[in-house]
Amino acid sequence: MNTIKGVTRIALVLALIAMVPGFLEGWDIFRSEKIVESEIPVKESLSPEELQKKLDKKSAKDFLDEKPLDLFKEESCSYPPNWQCAIAGVVGSSIAFLIVFFGISGITRVFLWIVEGFKERK
C-alpha cells in the first residue's frame, strides 16, 4: 500500500471540506473590515424621557405601523457589495484549501522521512 498516495487523498478530501468555512470566514472578515461610513445624517438617539413621551402619545396601532428601530439611533454605515465579499470568500477558501492540503501532506512526508531514518537497513 502506498502510504503517501493514501494520505494525499485524505488530505484532498479534508482540504475540500475546509473550503466551506474558509469561504464564510473570508466573506465575514472582508465585510467587517470594509464598512464604509455613509454621508447620511444620523438620527439622534432619544433620551429615556423623550422615548417615553413619544410612546405615550402614540396609540398601539400607530406604534405598530412605525418601525420600532426608527425610535433609536440609526447606523450610518454601509457594507461593501456582495460581489466583493464573494471574491474575498473565494480567496479565503483557497487559502484554507492550501493550508490544510499542504499541511497534512507536508507533515506526513516529514513523519515518514523520520520513520525511514530509524528503520534498520538489511
- pLDDT per residue, tens digit, the chain (122 aa), is 588 899 999 999 999 999 999 999 999 988 888 876 655 554 556 666 776 776 666 655 555 555 555 444 445 567 788 899 999 999 999 999 999 999 999 999 999 889 888 887 76
Residue type present at position 52: Q
User: Based on the domain organization, do 6 and 62 belong to the same domain?
Assistant: no
- Please state the domain count of the chain: 2
CA 38/CA 79 separation, integer angstroms: 10
User: Based on the domain organization, do 88 and 72 belong to the same domain?
Assistant: no
pTM exceeding 0.75: no
Cell 483557497 sits on residue: 94
The per-residue pLDDT for 61 is 54
Query: Which H/E stretch holds residue 48?
Result: helix 48-57
The conformational region for residue 51 under phi > 0 = left, psi -120 to 50 = alpha, else beta, is: alpha
CB of 46 closer than 8 Å to CB of 112: no
User: Based on the domain organization, do 92 and 72 belong to the same domain?
Assistant: no
User: Based on the domain organization, do 50 and 17 belong to the same domain?
Assistant: no
Which range marks the domain in which residue 105 is found?
Answer: 1-36+79-122
The per-residue pLDDT for 18 is 95
User: Based on the domain organization, do 17 and 2 belong to the same domain?
Assistant: yes
User: Based on the domain organization, do 68 and 105 belong to the same domain?
Assistant: no
User: Based on the domain organization, do 31 and 6 belong to the same domain?
Assistant: yes
The per-residue pLDDT for 118 is 87
